[in-house]
Amino acid sequence: MDWELILSRTGKLGTRRMLFLGLALARDLLGAMLPSQISQQIESSPEIIALSRQVRSGLFRSETSLLGDYRWRISI
């Protein structure tokens, strides 16, 4: 993968936080291997760490909340 291009494009589009969240989840839940540079950027972001924990904690809960869904979309 061309990580420089990916980071450049997500930076321009304002979607880097979504990228890092997805990569953090893939790494933590599925064991995806990431370049050390990408892992370091994820680990240095308190927002990404908090969002990842929030997603992981809610993955297997059966109850859903419309207000919770709304807050989640705002946080991304």
Angle of the 46-58 helix axis to the 66-75 helix axis, nearest 10: 150
Rounded alpha-carbon distances, angstroms, from residue 57 to 29, 44, 52, 62, 74:
12, 21, 9, 11, 18
Predicted pLDDT of residue 68: 58
Residue 24, classified by CB atoms within 10 Å of its CB into exposed (0-12), middle (13-18) or buried (19+), is buried
List the pLDDT tens digit at each of the 76 positions of the chain: 899 999 999 999 999 999 999 999 999 999 999 999 999 999 999 999 999 998 888 877 766 554 556 565 666 6
Give the number of other CB atoms < 10 A from CB of residue 20.
Answer: 24
Per the CB < 8 A criterion, the answer to whether 16 and 7 are in contact is yes
